[in-house]
Amino acid sequence: MKTTLDIADALLREARDVAAREATTVDALVEQGLRHILADRGAAPVFRLRKASFKGRGLAPAARDAGWDRLREIAQEGRGG
């Protein structure tokens, strides 16, 4: 992918010198540097939903055919809701 970067003149001169000495390109050095920085910072952790299932027999009989309003009532029973 092509992109444009603003690099300080002195830094670019130094990068060109290193690239010439190592028989590579400034593009390769920039890519290598980005890979190094990103590896040091670590990849963002992947979200994993914890296993929260339980062994049971499904919904309670009172909730099996209930609509949302009744389910809310059941959930709030005994909680002052």
- pLDDT score, position 29: 96
**What total of structural domains would you count in the chain?**
1
pLDDT > 80? residue 57 = no
Q: Is 65 among the domain residues? A: no
pTM for this structure? Answer: 0.50
For residue 13, what are the domain limits?
9-41
Q: Is 27 among the domain residues? A: yes
pLDDT > 80? residue 80 = no
Task: Kindly state the average pLDDT of the residues 21-27.
Answer: 96
Cβ atoms of 77 and 70 within 8 Å: the answer is no
Greater model confidence, 79 or 54: 79
Burial 29-42 (b: 16+ CB within 10 A, else e): beeeeeeeeeeeee
Q: Is 75 among the domain residues? A: no
